[in-house]
Structure 1
Amino acid sequence: MAQLAQSITPVDAVVSRMRALDATLPERDGVAVFNRVYLAVTEEVDRHLDAGAFPDPEAAITLDVRFAERYLRVAEQGCPPACWRPLLQFRRHPGVRPLQFALAGINAHIGHDLALAVVDACRTLGCEPADLEDEFDRVGDLLISMEERIREDLMPGPDLLQIADPLTHLLGSWSLERARDATWSAARALWALRGLPDLAEEFCDRLDAAVGFAGRMLLTPLPD
């Protein structure tokens, strides 16, 4: 795929939509918390694209935009798949901490949306998932590098350590790296099932439900 000149890309349009959401959502809203995290990640991807860090920028842009569009449809239009419903239902719950909102959104987006976005990108580009593996890994590496910073920024301080104990236990059961690995397997399975639409739909439904269940656990309200 041809190298793209440095210019305004579809990723810039995605960033603009996320910034518009950030300006309209209440700061403590659960979707707003995730949106700020995702905006930071997408801006980082955009900087890497501008710096020529992706060997195949067309593939990276296509995957990134197809991925983001799945979240933006939920945030802007509603009608969410099952994986997003816990976050939307608990977005204003006073017993749910910002870090829980952030990781529940990441869980839904990585665990479900990313697998479907890989398939979307393959169809758009006329390629196989293996052709996108480098771009998938590079975006995933950016997410993982930011995960610790996200936890540090949103975790209660040392003076709240006693209160944070159940939060630490709850969130320690979820791993972005494991979720990313499972997503890659799911994307390859969905691609293999593309000629069997009934089975592909059943697989998607079960993936959606399983990711939604994990999200509901991440959003367990905690005592003050």
Structure 2
Amino acid sequence: MVQFKQWEQFADRTGPVTAPSDVAAVIARMRGFRSDWPPTDGVAVFNHVYLTVTETIDRQIGDGVFQDRRAAAALDVRFAERYLAAVDAAAAGHRPPDCWRPLFQYRRHPGVRPLQFALAGINAHIGHDLALAVVDTCRALQCAPPDLEEEFDQVGDLLVLLEEQIREDLMPGPDLLEVADPLTHLLGSWSLERAREAAWSAARVLWRLRDLPLLAEEFRQRMDAGAGLVGRCLLTPWR
């Protein structure tokens, strides 16, 4: 019992751990942001991308693409809650997690391109939030990470496909390719696939550390700081 309470305290410090909520409510909240932020806002760019992902996952859950709909919905909601919590923290003047800070700090910088904003948000969400969302979901559903691996992989496959489309839609056109060569090199050095693999490994480590909350929190902080550093590099201004 003492060990379980220690893990509860660790989870409370790292984000939302409430019971699964409605995916539709998450989508409604993200749609609401579109009237709050101008389209050029860096967080708005990521929000548009993430809204597309969440709407697609919601349709697939409804169509029965996921074998375990309840697990897929729970993972989707807990994943989104991490992003929404960062938005709420920034709006309230509080410090969001390190992984999200570069995106909120540079969101209006004229020298940062839309693709950079999109990938920086994806990096924060995958590099830090995803592992925690897996742990949150396991606690809520009283299961272990291996029980969610199929849903995790399906969501990850969708993210990889959408990332390819995002790069095509937001990359500068042919007339800017020569000027954008350094940008192409920088953004090409980050891989969603590798980030997803690291997130799964991190989730398994955090799950094994659930009875060692101080060590788990240290691991989370280092993961958060690392994602923040990558995000700051991805947001290097180009003018």
**Which bin holds the TM-score, normalised by the shorter protein?**
over 0.9
Question: Do structure 1's residue 143 and structure 2's residue 159 form an aligned pair?
Answer: yes
Query: Which residue type is aligned with residue 174 of structure 2?
Result: P
Question: Do structure 1's residue 114 and structure 2's residue 126 form an aligned pair?
Answer: no
Which residues in structure 2 correspond to 1:186-205 (within 5 Å)?
Answer: 186-205=202-221
1:183 Cα deviation (Å)?
A: 0.3
Distance 1:161 1:85 in 2: 29
**Match of residue 82 from structure 2:** 70
1:163 Cα deviation (Å)?
A: 1.6
1:141 Cα deviation (Å)?
A: 0.5
Distance 2:110 2:47 in 1: 19
Query: Which residue type is aligned with residue 20 of structure 1?
Result: G
Which structure 1 segments of 5+ residues have no match? Answer: 1-8
Structure-2-length-normalised TM-score = 0.89
**Match of residue 35 from structure 2:** 23
Distance 1:72 1:181 in 2: 23
Distance 1:27 1:18 in 2: 13
Structure-1-length-normalised TM-score = 0.94
Pairs aligned (count): 215
Distance 1:77 1:50 in 2: 31
Deviation string, structure 1 residues 170-203 (Cα, Å, up to 9, x no partner): 1011000000000000000000000001100100
Which of 50, 55, 58 is equivalent to 1:46?
A: 58
Query: Which residue type is aligned with residue 56 of structure 1?
Result: D
Which residues in structure 2 correspond to 1:130-209 (within 5 Å)?
Answer: 130-209=146-225
**Match of residue 80 from structure 1:** 96
**Match of residue 6 from structure 1:** none
1:77 Cα deviation (Å)?
A: 3.4
Distance 1:209 1:24 in 2: 28
Q: What percentage of residue pairs aligned between the two structures are identical?
A: 69
**Match of residue 217 from structure 1:** 233
1:76 Cα deviation (Å)?
A: 2.9
Distance 2:88 2:157 in 1: 27
1:25 Cα deviation (Å)?
A: 0.7
Which structure 2 segments of 5+ residues have no match? Answer: 1-20
Distance 1:33 1:69 in 2: 18
Deviation string, structure 1 residues 109-138 (Cα, Å, up to 9, x no partner): 011000000000000000000000001000
Question: Do structure 1's residue 128 and structure 2's residue 140 form an aligned pair?
Answer: no
Which of 95, 99, 108 is equivalent to 1:92?
A: 108
Query: Which residue type is aligned with residue 31 of structure 2?
Result: R
Query: Which residue type is aligned with residue 179 of structure 1?
Result: A
Distance 1:109 1:187 in 2: 13
Q: Which runs of 4+ in 1 moved over 3 A?
A: none
CA RMSD of aligned residues (A): 0.8
Distance 2:61 2:89 in 1: 28
